Amino acid sequence: MIQRFKNIGPGTLVAAAFIGPGTVTVCTLAGVQFGFTLLWAMALSIIATIVLQEMAARLGLVSGSGLAENIRKEIKHPVAKGLAILLMLSAILIGNAAYEAGNISGGVLGLQTIFEQYTLLFAGMEVNLLSVGIGALAFVLLYIGNYKVIERSLIILVLLMSVSFLITAVRTVPNVLEILQGIFIPKVPEEGWLTIIALVGTTVVPYNLFLHASLVKEKWNGVGDLGAARKDLYVSILLGGLVSMAIIISAAAIQQSEVSNASDLAQSLAPLFGSFATYFLSIGLFAAGITSAITAPLAAAYVVKGCFGWQAGLRSLGFRAVWMSVLGLGIVFSSLGIKPIEIIQFAQVANGILLPVIAIFLLWVVNRKTVMGANRNTVVQNLLGFFIVLTSILLGVKSLAKVFEIL
């Protein structure tokens, strides 16, 4: 058992990254609006995530370089390389900075169902101290600069989150047959397409591909550990999928139309299942927020490191400067209640373009003999990858259309 715990690695961090406040909210809305009907969309999202993350992890172990480094090395044309680097920096660095406030605020939502909201008047503005506290915790874990400390801290938080949401789902006493039908019989309800796109988009996350390809090198030593890396990601991402489904199942038990986000879900559970379930959900919300608040700045730092070819590690000045900037902006925006709408919209556009571009590049590079050798993609992996690329293009077009409708 101890040995198995030691083998837990970057897959847990990937699960921690994609189950953030955005995923909790989207899954909540999916459950409230459509019951168990869209569980199949989450199941397909998890399969797509496993396929892409396996490619990213294999690329990192075999090449000894992260995804951003491989893009910089393998794209030879200077203009194409420059555009690729600009796109990565725009989507991941700026995007994660914009979304970081949401990660921290998500953790605050969980705490607010247990603790009162504490504010401090500073320079004529109200500062949310819970946001500052969550940001400070994320800062300490990242500043330590020890991969094992970060990994083990996130494992504990992911386990807390998993247990919390799974227990909450079980306490709703769902109909197992209806759950199985929702998973294995795809149905698209009227006005359900946007929710399906949101479920896939919040699970198949571009920055996780960069994070995973970089972190496997921190945990393992080359191709010989490929089997352990695969087991790690299969178990972790499947657990993440179960947690996401548990949130949908919990939300499906709420028959109140005013439930519009995860905070409302926590409050609505109280009269139905007692304060016990509400506390478990609150812990889950807090863990979802804090884990994403740690992984988002970490991923941004790895991307910048790869784009500029930095060789230094987690404790280097440049690496720390990047994650401090992302985390710092998140703390400021969250604690002051600022919503950087224009930055978020720009990040959505960049991410809508980035996912299909990265999926295409990843599929291309894991088929290159000069990079992967005998560990190139199999026919089955290529077929799955091709399907995911087409889906990511559709998602990218849809998300861009949605953003431009708002503008």
What are the tokens at 129?
Answer: 């101290």
Beta bridge partners of 122: 125
User: Which DSSP letter does residue 337 get?
Assistant: T
Cα–Cα distances in angstroms (integers) from residue 62 to residues 101, 180, 349, in the given order: 35, 38, 32
Query: Model-level pTM?
Result: 0.87
User: Cα angle vertex 40, ends 36, 43, to 5°?
Assistant: 120
Phi, psi of 366 (to 5 degrees): -80, 0
Higher pLDDT, residue 7 or 335? 335
Higher pLDDT, residue 380 or 334? 380
259-288 pLDDT, tens digit each = 655 556 666 566 555 666 677 777 888 888
User: Which DSSP letter does residue 378 get?
Assistant: P
Q: What element of type H or E holds 97?
A: helix 95-112
Residue that has been written with the tokens 């559709």 in this structure: 394
User: Which DSSP letter does residue 118 get?
Assistant: P
Task: Tell me the residue type at 233.
Answer: L
Cβ–Cβ under 8 Å, residues 120 and 126: yes
d(CA 162, CA 160): 6
What are the tokens at 6?
Answer: 């030691």
DSSP per-residue letters across 119-183: EEEETTEEEEHHHHHHHHHHHHHHHH--HHHHHHHHHHHHHHHHHHHHHHHHHT---HHHHHHHH
pLDDT of residue 1: 47
d(CA 120, CA 227): 51
Percent of the chain residues topping a pLDDT of 90: 36
Whether the pLDDT of residue 323 is over 90: the answer is yes
98-136 pLDDT, tens digit each = 888 888 888 888 887 777 666 666 666 678 888 899 999
d(CA 364, CA 70): 11
Three-state DSSP class for residue 361: helix
User: Which DSSP letter does residue 16 get?
Assistant: H
226-252 and 262-308 are packed helices; what angle lies between their axes, rounded to 10 degrees?
A: 150
* 55-64, 148-157, 240-249: segment of lowest average pLDDT: 148-157
Q: How confident is the model at residue 368 (pLDDT cuts 50, 70, 90)?
A: very high
Whether the pLDDT of residue 3 is over 60: the answer is no
344-357 pLDDT, tens digit each = 667 767 777 888 88
What are the tokens at 378?
Answer: 């199999």
* 7-16, 43-52, 192-201, 267-276: segment of lowest average pLDDT: 267-276
Q: Based on C-alpha coordinates, what's the Rg of the chain?
A: 20
Q: How far is CA 186 from the centre of its chain?
A: 24
d(CA 153, CA 150): 5
Highest averaged pLDDT of the listed ranges 13-17, 51-55, 274-278: 51-55
Cβ–Cβ under 8 Å, residues 386 and 362: no
201 CB contacts (<8 Å, ≥6 apart)? 355, 395, 399
